[in-house]
């Protein structure tokens, strides 16, 4: 796999000839909706058996070798043009040889709410766990599914299903009151656990994934004790426990989203912890990257101090947002897939820029109403930068939110850097 950033005047056939790759392969790999319209700045995946990395500012040959799981001697042997391994320059091409890569095996979780069988089948080979979102609880501890998926597909790909448990309201949104009832009312908690065990007993589940959000700060210790009780019961029955936590930067971070999530306790108790390292750019906020790399780093800096890195799954967004400018409080951005974002740039004649600090692509355009828009999304460059953090911090792996929309680029970048652990 190689990466090419579209320049002014490029056509898909010129790019194909440059890389001696069929145009159809490039079109398919990048899910190009209109191959005749390539926005300047779009990052294209070029399918190949050999990976090339363009040196960026701050890179060293050692850091490149480490991020791709290649030994330094092997990397040097594949790049005889590099006379001094201590001196590489921005813009220089480095070949990453496939035959001597030591692919690190990682754990990959994917949330999904509603996806076509074809989309799910394309994603399952790259997943350790599939977390259908979700079974929501009511105030009495009764559970109701909210997803529409063909879960029988998972077994054929040796992907394990996790029973995702939430405190979602029927109308949407997380309920602090529902979480409070489950965590503090013994009868409700007993009923909740009885219903969880009944669902697990129907078969097809490998464990549970607990995503309780907007928990009252005063329920923090109750949440810890509930998690202890749940984990002990699940482990006795042979199931694993995964929890999902808000992206905290410190132990005492305030706010309803953060305060009750005890990183140290969850890291010691659960088998894996999903860190929801996204939504800095969100529906009702100002235009910015969904998962700026600097912010993700801050969360990982804190998390790896208080919980085992080998239990952490770093959250990776599989979507973008389109904001109308200027931002006004109370207005909502439109969510869109990464594929649709790039296609929108092409239709509107907008050049895609890449923010080096956030390590994320974005573009601006004017809509039919004459208002300016700003779109942030993910591409091969931003995903590669995020995945490099898995090796840097020694994490267990990653977790996608969410896989409703197929983004082949994501899986191609993942496959170029890691192999995926299978639970079944």
Give the catalytic positions in this structure: 213
The residue behind tokens 């409070």 is 180
Residue 236 contacts residue 275 (beta carbons within 8 Å): no
Residue 246 contacts residue 258 (beta carbons within 8 Å): yes
* For the chain, counts of helices (H) and of strands (E): 14, 20
Please report, for residues 379, 382, 386, the alpha-carbon distance to residue 316 in angstroms, rounded to integers and kept in the order given.
12, 10, 8
Radius of gyration of the chain, Cα coordinates, nearest whole angstrom = 22
How does DSSP classify residue 22? -
Residue 381 contacts residue 43 (beta carbons within 8 Å): yes
d(CA 248, CA 266): 13
Residue 302 contacts residue 263 (beta carbons within 8 Å): yes
Half-sphere exposure of 120 (CA within 13 A, CB side): 23
Q: List phi, psi (to 5°) of 229.
A: -65, -45
Residue 363 contacts residue 6 (beta carbons within 8 Å): no
Helical (H) or strand (E) element with 408: helix 408-417
How does DSSP classify residue 311? G
Q: Would the CA dihedral through 383, 293, 73, 309 be positive or negative?
A: negative
């Amino acid at each position: 796999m190689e990466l090419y950033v579209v320049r002014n005047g490029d056509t898909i056939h010129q790019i194909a000839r440059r890389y001696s790759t069929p145009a159809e392969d490039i079109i398919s790999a990048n899910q190009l909706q209109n191959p005749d319209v390539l926005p300047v700045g779009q990052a294209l995946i070029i399918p190949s058996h050999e990976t090339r990395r363009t040196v960026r500012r701050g890179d060293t040959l050692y850091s490149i070798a480490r991020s791709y799981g290649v030994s330094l001697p092997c990397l040097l042997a594949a790049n005889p043009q590099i006379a001094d391994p201590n001196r590489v320059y921005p813009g220089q091409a480095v070949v990453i040889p496939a035959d001597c890569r030591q692919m690190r095996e990682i754990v990959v979780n994917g949330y999904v709410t509603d996806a076509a069988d074809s989309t799910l089948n394309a994603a399952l080979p790259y997943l350790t766990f599939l977390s259908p979102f979700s079974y929501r609880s009511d105030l009495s501890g009764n559970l109701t599914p909210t997803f529409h998926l063909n879960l029988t597909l998972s077994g054929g790909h040796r992907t394990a299903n996790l029973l995702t448990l939430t405190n979602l309201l029927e109308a949407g949104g997380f309920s602090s009151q529902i979480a409070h009832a489950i965590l503090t009312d013994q009868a409700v908690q007993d009923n909740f656990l009885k219903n969880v065990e009944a669902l697990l007993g129907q078969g097809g589940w490998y464990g549970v994934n607990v995503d309780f959000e907007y928990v009252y700060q005063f329920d923090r210790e109750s949440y810890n004790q509930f998690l202890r009780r749940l984990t002990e019961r699940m482990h006795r029955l042979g199931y694993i426990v995964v929890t999902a936590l808000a992206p905290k930067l410190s132990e005492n971070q305030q706010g309803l989203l953060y305060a009750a999530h005890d990183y140290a306790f969850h890291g010691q108790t659960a088998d894996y912890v999903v860190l929801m390292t996204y939504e800095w750019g969100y529906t009702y906020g100002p235009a910015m990257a969904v998962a700026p790399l600097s912010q993700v780093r801050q969360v990982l800096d804190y998390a790896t101090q208080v919980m085992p890195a080998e239990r952490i799954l770093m959250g990776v967004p599989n979507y973008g947002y389109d904001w109308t400018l200027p931002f006004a409080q109370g207005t909502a951005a439109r969510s869109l897939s990464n594929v649709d974002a790039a296609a929108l740039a092409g239709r509107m004649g907008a050049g895609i820029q890449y923010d080096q600090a956030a390590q994320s692509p974005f573009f601006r355009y004017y809509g039919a109403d004459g208002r300016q828009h700003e779109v942030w999304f993910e591409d091969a460059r931003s995903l590669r930068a995020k995945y490099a953090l898995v090796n840097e911090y020694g994490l267990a792996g990653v977790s996608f939110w969410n896989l409703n929309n197929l983004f082949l680029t994501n899986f191609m970048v993942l496959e170029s850097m890691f192999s995926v652990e299978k639970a079944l």
